């Protein structure tokens, strides 16, 4: 893999989660463009720099020896990547403080360097939280590859920060410069809420939660077929989002024990609030994690999963396949993984390579619900 070479450092970076013969590098031309611009402007050791949405730590690890850097992201995997890449390049793994996107920012910041996230609601929430956190004369710069830069990203910067100017494109990357202006503090439209009829619950969704305006159609197809009569089974909701699968299952299985995991801090925050609102003080484990990585082997009886088929802008089944492997490792012999997936993704054949038996629980014109037994 090529090194990230900038005026600040030469870094050997890896992506998370790691995969053999990784086809993609852990930085892109937008990272390089942003670092070169900051170097031209000059940075002092006293400068307080906030880095937002640094997918694998390329920006924070480059700048850490040259300024007072803080990183904030909604991704557990991004935090893990930053720690691993700092250590990989001879720095302390915890040299850069990390603020999960679910927690408030504490400025004032002299520089704010933003990688435009795929979910613009996350960008909006981050910019809202930035209000009142900028030092006088602060520089706010967003970066993206041109193909991933919607016009509305610039409009959000203009609304919450100030007038925006776009750079020329370099290697298909572009920078947006927002000039901070004093304005009234605007309140956040997040979290959103919506109600379900069956089960009759209301769900809170923080800004970066998938389908935060309403239940996604895959989950809607899955809900009627969640397993019943689980007794005291140990159940995990893998990639839990707002927690709806686990909550619906828990309502039907009062003695089962639940673990909810997601790599999004805002998803975990939403799931925790929804569990408490629906199930009160019923015992549960809810955590941000790299799926079931670290879950003891043979510690679960049932795994529920609506797997994603992308990581940021990269589409593929790598994440889903990894979730299936994690579920198999964590399940007891005889335990079951229940999933919903688009018909065209061919999950039945993939699961058959890992599990003893795969059965079709139900099908709609678009989705299949499958049960795979270890």
* pLDDT tens profile 269-292: 999 999 999 999 999 999 999 999
Q: What is the pLDDT of residue 283?
A: 97
CATH topology of domain 192-373: Rossmann fold (3.40.50)
Average pLDDT for the chain: 94
User: Look-up: residue for tokens 């790599």?
Assistant: 263
Ramachandran region, residue 318 (left: φ > 0; alpha: ψ -120 to 50; beta: rest): alpha
- 183 pLDDT tier (thresholds 50, 70, 90): confident
Specify the higher pLDDT residue, 371 or 311.
Answer: 371
pLDDT at residue 296 greater than cutoff 60 = yes
Q: Is residue 114 within 8 Å of 108, Cβ to Cβ?
A: no
Q: What is the pLDDT of residue 320?
A: 87
CA distance 327 to 337: 7
- 315 pLDDT tier (thresholds 50, 70, 90): very low
Angle between helices 120-130 and 151-160 in degrees, nearest 10: 20
Tell me the β-bridge partners of 341: 368
pTM score: 0.94
User: Look-up: residue for tokens 């949405």?
Assistant: 53
**Cα-based distances in Å from 90 to 11, 94, 198:** 10, 12, 53
> Where do the domains of the chain lie?
4-178, 192-373
pLDDT at residue 228 greater than cutoff 50 = yes
Q: Do domains 4-178 and 192-373 have the same CATH topology?
A: yes
Tell me the pLDDT tens digit for each residue of 41-54.
Answer: 999 999 999 999 99
CA distance 82 to 71: 9
Q: What is the pLDDT of residue 19?
A: 80
Q: What is the pLDDT of residue 311?
A: 47
Provide CB contacts within 8 A for 30, sequence distance 6+.
115, 143, 144, 145, 173, 174, 175
- 57 pLDDT tier (thresholds 50, 70, 90): very high
Residue 14 DSSP class = -
Tell me the β-bridge partners of 360: 370
Cis upstream peptide for 198 (omega within 30°): no
Extract the runs of DSSP E, i.e. beta strands, from 57-133. Answer: 68-73, 98-100, 109-115
**Cα-based distances in Å from 237 to 243, 262, 340, 366:** 8, 9, 12, 22
CA distance 360 to 369: 6
Which CATH class name applies to 4-178?
alpha beta
């Amino acid at each position: 893999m090529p090194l990230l070479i900038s005026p600040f450092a030469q870094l050997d970076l890896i992506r998370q989660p790691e995969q053999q013969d990784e086809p993609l590098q852990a930085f892109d031309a937008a990272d390089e463009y942003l670092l070169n611009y900051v170097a031209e402007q000059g940075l002092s050791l006293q400068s307080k720099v906030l880095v937002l949405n640094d997918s694998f730590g390329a920006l924070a690890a480059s700048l850490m020896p040259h300024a007072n850097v803080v990183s904030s992201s909604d991704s557990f995997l991004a935090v893990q990547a930053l720690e691993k890449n700092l250590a990989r390049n001879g720095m302390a793994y915890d040299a850069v403080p990390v603020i999960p996107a679910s927690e408030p920012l504490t400025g004032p910041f002299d520089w704010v360097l933003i990688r435009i996230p795929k979910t613009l609601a996350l960008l909006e929430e981050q910019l809202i939280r930035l209000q009142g956190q900028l030092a006088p004369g602060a520089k706010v710069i967003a970066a993206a590859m041109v193909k991933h830069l919607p016009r509305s990203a610039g409009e959000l910067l203009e609304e919450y920060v100030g007038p925006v100017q776009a750079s020329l494109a370099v290697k298909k990357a572009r920078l947006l410069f927002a000039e901070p202006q004093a304005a009234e503090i605007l309140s956040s439209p997040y979290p959103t809420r919506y109600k379900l009829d069956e089960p009759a619950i209301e769900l809170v969704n923080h800004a970066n939660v998938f389908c935060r305006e309403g239940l996604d159609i895959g989950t809607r197809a899955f809900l009627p077929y969640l397993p019943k009569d689980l007794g005291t089974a140990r159940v995990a909701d893998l990639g839990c989002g707002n927690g709806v699968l686990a909550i619906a299952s828990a309502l039907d299985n009062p003695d089962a024990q639940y673990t909810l995991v997601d790599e999004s801090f805002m998803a975990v925050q939403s799931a925790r609030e929804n569990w408490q609102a629906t199930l009160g003080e019923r015992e549960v484990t809810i955590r941000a994690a790299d799926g079931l990585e670290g879950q003891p082997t043979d510690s679960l009886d049932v795994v529920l999963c609506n797997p994603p088929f992308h990581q940021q802008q990269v589409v593929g089944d790598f994440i889903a396949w990894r979730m299936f492997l994690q579920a198999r490792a964590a399940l007891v012999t005889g335990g079951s993984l229940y999933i919903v997936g688009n018909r065209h993704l061919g999950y039945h054949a993939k699961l058959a390579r890992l599990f003893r038996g795969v059965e079709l629980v139900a099908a709609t014109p678009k989705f299949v619900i499958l049960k795979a037994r270890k």
